[in-house]
Amino acid sequence: MMKQKAQKQLRVGLIAMSGVRACDRELLALGLTLPGFVERSETIASLPSLGLITLASLSPDWCEVSYHEVDQIDDWSLDEMDSFDVIAISTFTAQVKEAYVLCERLKNHGVQYVVMGGLHATSLPDEALQFCDSVIVGEGELVWKQMLVDARDRCLKSKYRASQPFDLADAPMPAYELLDIQRYNRLTVQTSRGCPFKCEFCASSILLTDKYKQKPMEKVLAEVDKICELWKRPFIEFADDNSFVNRGYWKKLLPELAKRKVKWFTETDLSVAWDDELLDLMRMSGCAEVLIGLESPSIDGLNGLETKGNWKAKQLGRYQEGITKIQSAGIRVNGCFILGLDGHDVGIFDRVLAFADKLELYDVQVTYLTPFPGTPLYSRLRREGRLLEENAWERCTLFDITYQPKGMSCEQLRAGFHQLVKELYSEENTSLRRDRFKHKYRQASRSRLRNVSHLKV
Ligand code: SF4
């Protein structure tokens, strides 16, 4: 879709690389037979790029901006791209080599400038510059306009990096109208950036912002309203690293959100479980599911996971109580586990299976520990000589092993992971998890009703 403005001096194309990637063919084949397995990754892969549509709305009037998504570069026609002055590409590490091929093709096709941004280009701008003309390092909002001015004046710089953090109070309304709404099953709104825990493996909370920061509530609600204009009763994904760090903010936001009658999903830590008022507000405002990084069923895996504090390890004894509280409020929990942490040995696969069952999670997600470039985990494993192959970015899919695990061999990790996937996502286990959730929620609702009628009497 196109954003047309008067007096065009620059045609700007925004390209988001989409789609799930995995190199392990056996696992891919398994994923096809076990639909629950890659569900979350597929959802992420089918979300629009919020970063790009935010930059779109910061483009001056003299730009004509369009948004495109590319899944398979070989299936994508470049025919319409030759008249573009600037193409900006946002990508994840697993697809970055495809993005580099695309950069070369676009240049050969006559595109004046190809610019890259996003987490991978931010951590390795010099690598990206071998393929594109310029890299936006870090948050793009403060440098986007300058980049476009320089492109118009034919004096593009090789790197654009903001000299100060971006204040979310200045965040523009993302250009949702550029999206072909039909192709999405949910749209994203960001309320915050960053996470105080700074886990060793977590790229997004570390690379883009130093501090946790929050968008003013009015802006968030205006974005939800804009989405509702385009799509009645939408499903919204809050694109936050960790939503409920500031609970006071959400307690003001959620009653307003409830008036919009949307359904929503977000990522959080377990602490929401300890706030009954927040849980009630979440349910009443349409929260369908939260994703929580539980990471490991054992203390060995959790110890030292965060670069600041050891919060998750301290919560382990309360995981079950917390999940029960959240799910009893009618909010599904997608519990995520990382396999291959330094404290894990070959017994971990059975422990995750048993733990997921004990917690009665509605959804479970398992991935390999993955050292993304720019993270403390990547630097440590590199220092320890444990990366299997330098620059094998195409393997940073979360479903391929890229490093030497500590407590087992790569083959043991791979075989255990495959077996775990088969068992966790079998039809029998999947229906058991879902039926149990419904049953427990009905029970909890009945007991809530009994309490209310008792109070009325
Ligand atoms: S808690 Fe989640 S969002 Fe926060 S740093 Fe860890 S992995 Fe990232």
Query: Are 210 and 348 in the same domain?
Result: yes
**In angstroms, what CA-CA distances link 342 with 85, 106, 203, 216, 337?**
48, 42, 18, 39, 14
- State pLDDT tens for residues 400-456: 999 999 999 999 999 999 999 999 999 999 999 999 988 887 877 777 667 656 555
Task: Please tell me if the CB atom of residue 293 comes closer than 6 angstroms to any atom of ligand 1.
Answer: yes
Task: Please tell me if the CB atom of residue 205 comes closer than 6 angstroms to any atom of ligand 1.
Answer: yes
Query: Are 443 and 345 in the same domain?
Result: yes
Nearest protein Cα to ligand 1, atom 8: 202
Q: How many helices (H) and strands (E) does the chain have?
A: 18, 15
Query: Are 244 and 365 in the same domain?
Result: yes
Of 369 and 5, more confident: 369
- In DSSP terms, which residues pair with 214 in a beta bridge? 192
Query: Are 200 and 124 in the same domain?
Result: no
261 CB-near residues (< 8 Å, 6+ apart): 233, 286
> What confidence category does residue 221 fall into, taking pLDDT thresholds of 50, 70 and 90?
very high
Question: What is the mean pLDDT of the segment spanning 162-173?
Answer: 95
> What confidence category does residue 368 fall into, taking pLDDT thresholds of 50, 70 and 90?
very high
Nearest to 322 by CA among 358, 272, 369: 272
Task: Please tell me if the CB atom of residue 257 comes closer than 6 angstroms to any atom of ligand 1.
Answer: no
Neighbour tally for 210: CB within 10 Å: 10
Of 25 and 326, more confident: 326
Domain count, the chain: 2
pLDDT at 37: 77
Nearest protein Cα to ligand 1, atom 4: 195
Q: Tell me, what CATH number does 61's domain have?
A: 3.40.50.280
Nearest protein Cα to ligand 1, atom 3: 241
Task: Please give the Cα distance from 86 to 72 (Å, whole number).
Answer: 21
- The residue type at 415: A
pLDDT at 4: 52
Compute φ and ψ for 88, nearest 5 degrees: -110, 130
Query: Are 103 and 222 in the same domain?
Result: no
Question: What is the mean pLDDT of the segment spanning 353-357?
Answer: 96
pLDDT at 18: 81
Query: Are 320 and 274 in the same domain?
Result: yes
For ligand 1, what atom is nearest to the CA of residue 293?
2
- State pLDDT tens for residues 252-293: 999 999 999 999 999 999 999 999 999 999 999 999 999 999
- State pLDDT tens for residues 117-150: 999 999 999 999 999 999 999 999 999 999 999 9
Q: State both tokens at 435.
A: 């039926």
Task: Please tell me if the CB atom of residue 381 comes closer than 6 angstroms to any atom of ligand 1.
Answer: no
- Write down which residue in 98, 126, 161 finishes a domain: 161
The preferred substitution site among 119, 190, 195 for testing ligand 1, maximizing ligand atoms within 8 Å of CB, is: 195
Query: Are 326 and 258 in the same domain?
Result: yes
Task: Please tell me if the CB atom of residue 197 comes closer than 6 angstroms to any atom of ligand 1.
Answer: yes
- State pLDDT tens for residues 50-84: 999 999 999 999 999 999 998 888 888 887 777 89
Compute φ and ψ for 434, nearest 5 degrees: -70, -40
Query: Are 278 and 421 in the same domain?
Result: yes
Question: What is the mean pLDDT of the segment spanning 357-378?
Answer: 96
For ligand 1, what atom is nearest to the CA of residue 241?
3
237 belongs to a structural domain: yes
Q: Does 41 score more than 90 pLDDT?
A: no
Query: Are 192 and 140 in the same domain?
Result: no
Query: Which residue range(s) make up the domain with 151?
Result: 10-19+49-161
Q: Tell me, what CATH number does 208's domain have?
A: 3.80.30.20
Query: Are 153 and 191 in the same domain?
Result: no
Q: State both tokens at 155.
A: 């004096």
Nearest to 401 by CA among 390, 387, 391, 385: 387
Strands (E), 269-358: 287-295, 332-339
Task: Please tell me if the CB atom of residue 240 comes closer than 6 angstroms to any atom of ligand 1.
Answer: no
Q: Which of 25-39, 46-60, 114-128, 213-227 has the lowest mean pLDDT?
A: 25-39
Query: Are 230 and 335 in the same domain?
Result: yes
Task: Please give the Cα distance from 219 to 192 (Å, whole number).
Answer: 12
Q: Does 457 score more than 50 pLDDT?
A: no
Task: Please tell me if the CB atom of residue 195 comes closer than 6 angstroms to any atom of ligand 1.
Answer: yes
Ligand 1 centroid, distance to 238 Cα (angstroms): 15
> What confidence category does residue 5 fall into, taking pLDDT thresholds of 50, 70 and 90?
very low
